[in-house]
Amino acid sequence: MDPKGLFALAAALAVSVAALGGGIGQGVAAGKAFESIARQPEITGTVRILLFVCWAIIETLTIYGLVIAFILLGKI
């Protein structure tokens, strides 16, 4: 197989795995946040702030996968 094809495959896997993991992580975090707000509505503000911080961290990891894909595509 051509090395360029392997770099393209690696780039596609980097983005897809990062996006899949990020999507699952965000879904689980949001579900647990909504569950905790439903149990104790008075902590809505605190939970919302923590949820946004967690989402930012999860999205950062997804963006790292995109950066790795761009680096791999630059080698083609």
Query: What is the domain-level CATH number for residue 20?
Result: 1.20.20.10
Domain-located, residue 53: yes
Domain-located, residue 33: yes
Q: What is the pLDDT of residues 12-70, one digit of tens each?
A: 898 999 899 999 999 999 999 999 999 999 999 999 999 999 999 999 988 998 898 89
Measured over the CA atoms of residue 55, residue 61, residue 66 and residue 70, the dihedral's sign is positive
pLDDT of residue 47: 93
Residue 25: which domain range? 10-74
pLDDT of residue 8: 87
Domain-located, residue 46: yes
Domain-located, residue 1: no
Domain-located, residue 5: no
Domain-located, residue 4: no
Strand (E) or helix (H) holding 41: none
Supply the angle between the helices 44-74 and 3-39 in degrees, to the nearest 10: 180
pLDDT of residue 72: 85
* Cα distances (Å, whole numbers) of residue 61 to 27, 36, 73: 15, 25, 19
Give the number of domains in the chain.
1
Nearest partner of 24 among 62, 64, 68, 69, judged by Cα: 62
pLDDT of residue 46: 93
- Give the pLDDT band of residue 73 (cuts 50, 70, 90): confident
